[in-house]
């Protein structure tokens, strides 16, 4: 599968395909736009008028004029001096996506790079030359300077890159792929370093994972409703119509469809509670709000993905304007929203785990084992879930409110969006483990309702789980069950088994 990168015309589905391994190529029409903007830079250099980033210093040194003979060295110095990232490298799929997003920005023809630069970036993607990019060191303003510098360094034969299963110096990685480094011209280093592409790629990676998590959490919630003989009255469409948030109505409809009119519904009508705890009763309100927040964040990220976020910008009318499109506040807010939604999805799932193992609330054997005392059942699994909930709550503090001024107070209000997006990935892993524990607990609970069965879509999920994880009614090495359940959650297999895509 190959995704064509078109100026301001790609969708979230396109970016997810590239994130998940699809090839990417630049639309032919984009090269004309790129060439036009490069011609504007040539004209500026020829005329000798001072333009920020073309023939001046950067940041607080922008008042320093640079001689024409030093312009190439200026751009190379900019790249090399900003390769100061630290921490664990970003995943290759995130770096690939960031490179594709940078191509999309250049394709708009407002950045002033030559077609050769875009062609090399495209070729690196095509031939699997993936720069090693440390994950820390960007404050999400004036662009992702440090992480993008680590990408740009490979284009000039410096830095390090992965080629297949080997990490090589940049020049060697390019040579192994039959490519040669470029010499940067005026404005090109700045165009490559300015931009929000790394932060946006991290944010998109989190978004894609959270949408899978959300779908799975709806399935595990429906399983828990059935296992606990919960009521489906709170999912009545008439209730949602009186508080018409789109997500609330959508979640209620999903739950009605998943549960259906099962054998367990008949038992509930005879023996079920009049009112359930909020972790069941308020599923449409809580998960519906999460769905709406995820959707809003997705819209912000989709706009940012197709945006031009470097500086200065070369406009169609020939003007060169300096602004602040490099500021990643929008991505920071999107990441904070996703963090809060992730914390809530995991937090509510943990409450359902606690409810299932509490005989007084669920009517199931304590800790889901009939041999309590000799066996501990799900006791420690709930403890793990509680620990992960606490971690996610701590990580959900908003990042965008934590601005720290940089560059001698020239860049005095920054977004902190990069680590805001990165921490979402950490929270996602935690929430996936929590939902995996609920998956195991709910299926175990359903086993205790035998011979009654849930609806066909939920029974398909139960069969999937039992094909990987045997009954946990007796104690055994539950870490094996955890790993299997986490893989089912992370891969999206649970939602697929239930035939569920709650965003379409």
Give residue 451's pLDDT band: very low, low, confident or very high (50, 70, 90).
Answer: very high
The stretch 309-336 carries a mean pLDDT of: 93
pLDDT tens per residue, range 125-174:
999 999 999 999 999 888 899 999 999 999 999 999 999 999 999 999 99
217 vs 407, higher pLDDT: 217
H/E stretch holding 313 reads strand 313-314
Give residue 60's pLDDT band: very low, low, confident or very high (50, 70, 90).
Answer: low
Separation CA 153–CA 81 (nearest Å): 10
The stretch 478-483 carries a mean pLDDT of: 96
Long-range contacts formed by 314-319: CB under 8 A, 24+ apart: 314/37, 314/40, 314/41, 314/109, 314/110, 314/111, 314/112, 315/110, 318/40
User: Alpha carbon of 342 to those of 3, 206, 478: distances in Å?
Assistant: 29, 10, 25
- pLDDT at residue 55 is higher than 90: no
DSSP 8-state secondary structure symbol assigned to residue 411: B
pLDDT tens per residue, range 263-299:
899 888 888 788 999 999 999 999 999 999 999 999 9
What pLDDT score does 107 carry?
A: 95
User: Alpha carbon of 196 to those of 99, 308, 310, 418: distances in Å?
Assistant: 11, 9, 8, 9
pLDDT tens per residue, range 22-44:
999 999 999 999 999 999 999 98
What pLDDT score does 54 carry?
A: 85
Share of the chain above pLDDT 90, in %: 83
Specify whether the CB–CB gap between 38 and 115 falls below 8 A.
yes
Separation CA 380–CA 176 (nearest Å): 51
For the question of residue 278 being annotated catalytic, the response is no
Choosing from 7, 15, 52, 304, the catalytic residue is 52
Share of the chain above pLDDT 70, in %: 100
- pLDDT at residue 64 is higher than 90: no
Q: Which of 356, 373, 305 is nearest to 334 (CA)?
A: 305
């Amino acid at each position: 599968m190959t995704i064509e990168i078109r100026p301001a015309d790609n969708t979230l589905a396109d970016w997810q395909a590239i994130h998940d391994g699809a090839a990417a190529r630049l639309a032919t029409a984009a090269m004309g736009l790129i060439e036009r903007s490069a011609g504007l830079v040539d004209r500026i250099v020829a005329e000798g008028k001072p333009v920020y980033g073309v023939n001046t210093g950067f940041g607080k040194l922008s008042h320093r004029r640079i001689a024409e003979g030093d312009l190439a060295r200026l751009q190379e110095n900019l790249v090399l001096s900003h390769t100061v990232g630290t921490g664990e490298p970003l995943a290759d799929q995130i770096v690939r996506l960031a490179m594709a997003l940078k191509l999309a920005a250049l394709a708009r023809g407002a950045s002033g790079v030559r077609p050769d630069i875009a062609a090399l970036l495209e070729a690196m993607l095509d031939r699997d030359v993936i720069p090693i990019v440390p994950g820390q060191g960007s404050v999400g303003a004036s662009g992702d300077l440090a992480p993008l510098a680590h990408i740009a360094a490979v284009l000039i034969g410096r830095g390090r890159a992965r080629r297949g299963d080997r990490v090589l110096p940049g020049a060697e990685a390019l040579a192994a792929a039959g490519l040669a480094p470029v010499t940067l011209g005026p404005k090109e280093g700045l165009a490559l370093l300015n931009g929000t592409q790394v932060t946006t790629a991290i944010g998109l990676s989190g978004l894609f994972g959270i949408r899978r998590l959300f779908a799975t959490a709806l399935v595990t919630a429906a399983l828990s409703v059935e296992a606990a003989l919960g009521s489906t009255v709170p999912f009545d469409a008439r209730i949602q119509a009186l508080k018409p948030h789109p997500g609330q109505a959508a979640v209620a409809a999903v739950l009605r469809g998943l549960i259906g009119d099962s054998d367990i519904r008949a038992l509930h009508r005879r023996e079920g509670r009049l009112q359930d705890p909020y972790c069941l009763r308020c599923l449409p309100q809580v998960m519906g709000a999460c769905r709406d927040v995820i959707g809003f964040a997705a819209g912000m990220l989709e706009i940012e993905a197709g945006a031009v976020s470097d500086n200065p910008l070369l406009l169609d009318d020939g003007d060169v304007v300096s602004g602040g499109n490099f500021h990643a506040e929008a991505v920071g807010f999107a990441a904070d929203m996703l963090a809060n939604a992730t914390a809530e999805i995991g937090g509510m799932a943990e409450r359902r785990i606690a409810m299932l193992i509490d005989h007084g609330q669920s009517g199931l054997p304590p800790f889901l084992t009939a041999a309590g005392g000799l066996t501990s059942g799900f006791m420690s699994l709930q403890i793990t879930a509680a620990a992960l909930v606490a971690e996610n709550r701590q990580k959900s503090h908003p990042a965008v409110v934590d601005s720290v001024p940089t560059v001698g107070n020239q860049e005095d209000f920054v977004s902190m969006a990069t680590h805001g997006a990165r921490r979402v990935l950490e929270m996602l892993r935690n929430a996936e483990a929590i939902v995996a524990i609920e998956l195991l607990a709910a299926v175990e609970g359903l086993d205790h309702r035998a011979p009654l069965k849930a609806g066909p879509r939920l029974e398909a999920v139960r069969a999937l789980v039992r094909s990987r994880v045997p009954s946990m009614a007796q104690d055994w090495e539950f870490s094996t069950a955890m790993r299997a359940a986490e893989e089912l959650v992370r891969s999206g297999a649970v939602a697929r088994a239930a035939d569920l895509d709650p965003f379409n």
